Structure 1
Amino acid sequence: MVLGSEGTLGVISECWLRLQKRPVFRATAGVTFANWASGCDAVRQIAQAKLWPANLRILDPVEAAASAGLGGDSALLIIGFESADVPQGENVRAAVAIARDCGGSIDDDAIVVDDGDGKPTGRAGAVGAWRNAFIGVNAGLTAGIGLLSDTFETAITWDRWPAFDADVRQRVGAALDDAVAGGRLSCRFTHVYPDGPAPYYSFSGVVPVGAEEERWRAVKDAATAAVVAAGGTVTHHHAVGRLHRPGWEKQRPALFGDLWRATKRSVDPNGIMNPGVLVDP
């Protein structure tokens, strides 16, 4: 219970850290797909093959065009392996073989393997372009100048994924059309598990100066409602906090809420630890 308490039940006063050796063996591949569904199926199969890549991230055609330099009609699957002890060429080639069986395309010489000699991986082509775009994020840079840009993330099981994605895109797309001019909605996977993906949606558009917060709230609320209605988690790695609390309260059992409030009253009777997060003070 403490692990998911988001600072409402206590503070960390001491911790143990596990140190890992820096990887020296790396391998990277960027596989393109003519359609989003085939790429997502490749991700599922690679995840369920238990190859355990360090990076398994797919960008839909909109995201791949905006951040990786593709033409807007192809999804991009980025596959990366790394280890401090074991060469990774065999693993990346196994993953690429699965992706190719699902309709993915990549030239053999585009599979980059570092067998410990320091050869750069993941720095060139579409994979490198995505890396540079991702690292170069400047959150809040456009605030207050009539540009709206934000994200929302969730998790869902594989059996529900295609219908979930279609539903979320329809609902959030409609809200985006009402709120902004030139709206753009895209998706990528930030985390992948054998049981399902963690989709990360991005939305943006032009709004009247001064109306940024109002329009953002409309889209964000629509996104939360769409995710919850379609059966996804209200959040994934961004936590619940105050922003996602209304959706979280619809998903957690009522008895769990009662237990949480009782625990909160016991360990924090004055309500000074993260008031308003998860439960009322």
Structure 2
Amino acid sequence: MRRWNGWGEESVFQKVNPIAFEYLQAHVGLAKTSHSLTFDELIALVPSSRLTQHELLACCDMTCDAKDRALHAVGQSLPDWIGLRMGLIERFPDAVAYPKSAQEIRTLLDLASEHDIRLIPYGGGTSVVGHLTVPDSLQPVVTVDMRRMNQLLHFDPMEQLATFEAGISGPEIEDCLQARGYTLGHYPQSFEYSTLGGWVATRSAGQYSLGYGRMDSLFVGGRLETPAGSFVLKPIPASAAGPDLRQTVLGSEGRLGIITECTVKVSRLPKQERVHAAFFKDAETALTAVRELAQADLHMTMIRLSLAAETETTLALASHQKVLSFVKLGLSLWGVKDQKCLLLYGVAGSTDAVSQGLLSARRIIKQQGGIFVGQKFGEEWKKARFQSPYLRNTLWEAGYAIDTLETSVIWSKVKTTIAAIEDALKNAARLQQEQVHVFTHVSHVYAVGSSIYTTYVFRLADTADATLARWQTLKSAASQAIVEQGGTISHQHGVGLDHRPYLEVEKGELWLQMLRAVAKTVDPKGLMNPGKLME
């Protein structure tokens, strides 16, 4: 059963070795555990629905049950966690709908327009930037859970296209495709729970996007049901007939309507897939190697570089400390010591292509002084790559909060932007007379630049309000640093509520006016996911 107040399955617990807790206490300080609400206490916060006698309830298996409404009130952002764990949720949806077809969604939209009902599309509930927050609305709000729409509608190996209903999850997609010898190859951190429609709506990137492409390039067509009518995107290979209207659906975050089906490009399953690892003595040589790998067009599936603080943290959290002590000793003999950075890189394809790709990558890595350590680190990463979010549960229960933020910049700004983000977080914590542990990796690289993914850990405060204020100070400082460096406010998580204040700096007021005009056209009453992406 899935956790109601944290990440993942209740049966899965991420253990942390005592050395790791000592490491964390040294960097952040000794934390105090706080009381977490029980589910019954959360249910007691749910007010009466404004839709209990409404004709809308006959649509889409809709329910006003307090349990369903509580489970659909928030996502997985840190403010969401504070709300769930500490009782700071201000609003709940009035009902939850479970549509099973595009026709049911069409009926729901028509009734919502007639009765002025607000709608929040809900996929896997994994948003970390506030996409699912219930607006402060005088009108009733219905959350639309898409997960019953999870079927493969069409597959054609000649075209290498597959059309799915939008509520299908990552594992369900791969089960359908791999049984036919194909893969989508899209593996975001939330892969186990997030949905295809959610990936399109947030312009998702996956762990293997270097090889298979981001959702921007995988999504070739589909259907969007809007309050004003149906919007169908045909899967055409290329077109010069005006602007690409797929871009109005990609990244739309539920503001324009509900995505009901998606046509995506698929790939044949690779004959071989390997992830290798290397260490570098410092960030300078490591980043140079990563840039050269990205620009060499080696058809790699992934390049993931943990900078020094993340490498140190990863090794501290590892369970095989005795083995790691020998690894560290061996690396030190090669001059790779305190500032060491861990690179994971993957190649997939035919046996010859994998061998050639690894050989070419090895040549570039060696030129920058990289020390190869084989496949063991890569195998361990693959085995646990969807397990790291469970660490949030363990650390919260010990009194610590974890949050992440991400951006992307051109290569000439990567080092300065990393430093600006990390300094901003540390300075913001210092102003609160607190400490924060900050570490960064780059995991999505391009010929022209790279993503930057920063994690920070801090102590929970004594109250919910104080903890939320502590997070807001840290998040704001880091976000301001990103926009000052010219980075995007979101490389892969979307805008939601948390990033909305910074969007105009990146896009400009004219762009926002254009987007508002599109929203006004397809949703004249402003029923769809109010307040997200833009005011």
2:286 alignment counterpart: 39
Tell me the number of residue pairs that the alignment of Structure 1 and Structure 2 aligns: 265
- 1:6 is aligned to 2:253: yes
2:313 alignment counterpart: 66
2:403 alignment counterpart: 150
Deviation at 1:145, TM superposition (A): 5.4
Gaps of 5+ in 2: 1-247, 319-323, 329-337
Give the SS at the match of 1:165: helix
Distance 1:240 1:76 in 2: 30
Deviation at 1:133, TM superposition (A): 4.9
Match of 2:385 among 102, 110, 134: 134
* Contact 1:181 1:207 (8 Å CA) reproduced: no
In structure 2, what residue type is equivalent to 1:146? G
Match of 1:242 among 492, 497, 508: 497
Give the SS at the match of 1:30: strand
Match of 2:524 among 254, 269, 273: 269
In structure 2, what residue type is equivalent to 1:235? S
Distance 1:134 1:214 in 2: 31
1:81 alignment counterpart: 347
* Contact 2:392 2:401 (8 Å CA) reproduced: no
Distance 2:380 2:260 in 1: 41
Match of 1:57 among 304, 308, 323: 304
Give the SS at the match of 1:14: strand
Distance 2:362 2:533 in 1: 42
Q: 1:241 to 1:204 in 2, by over 3 A?
A: same
In structure 2, what residue type is equivalent to 1:163? T
- Which deviations, in whole Å up to 9, do the C-alpha atoms of 1:200-233 show, x marking residues without a partner? 0000022333232221111111111111111111
* Contact 2:295 2:447 (8 Å CA) reproduced: yes
* Contact 1:180 1:206 (8 Å CA) reproduced: no
- Which deviations, in whole Å up to 9, do the C-alpha atoms of 1:242-263 show, x marking residues without a partner? 1101111221121111111122
Distance 1:2 1:180 in 2: 44
Deviation at 1:85, TM superposition (A): 7.0
Deviation at 1:6, TM superposition (A): 1.6
Q: Please identify, of 172-181 and 249-258, the stretch whose mean Cα deviation from structure 2 is larger.
A: 172-181
* Contact 2:497 2:532 (8 Å CA) reproduced: yes
Q: 1:180 to 1:105 in 2, by over 3 A?
A: farther
Q: 1:127 to 1:179 in 2, by over 3 A?
A: farther
2:480 alignment counterpart: 225
Distance 1:130 1:155 in 2: 23
- 1:28 is aligned to 2:262: no
Q: Larger RCO: Structure 1 or Structure 2 (Cα < 8 Å, ≥ 6 residues apart)?
A: 1
Deviation at 1:46, TM superposition (A): 0.4
2:369 alignment counterpart: 103
Identity of aligned residues (%): 29
Distance 1:52 1:179 in 2: 46
- Which deviations, in whole Å up to 9, do the C-alpha atoms of 1:146-192 show, x marking residues without a partner? 31211000000002222222222222221133447452111111211
Gaps of 5+ in 1: 111-121
Deviation at 1:82, TM superposition (A): 0.8
- 1:165 is aligned to 2:412: no
* Contact 1:154 1:234 (8 Å CA) reproduced: yes
In structure 2, what residue type is equivalent to 1:199? I
In structure 2, what residue type is equivalent to 1:169? E
In structure 2, what residue type is equivalent to 1:127? G
Distance 1:47 1:232 in 2: 19
Q: 1:41 to 1:106 in 2, by over 3 A?
A: same
TM-score normalized with structure 1 length: 0.86
Deviation at 1:144, TM superposition (A): 6.8
Q: CA RMSD in A?
A: 2.2
* Contact 1:245 1:277 (8 Å CA) reproduced: yes
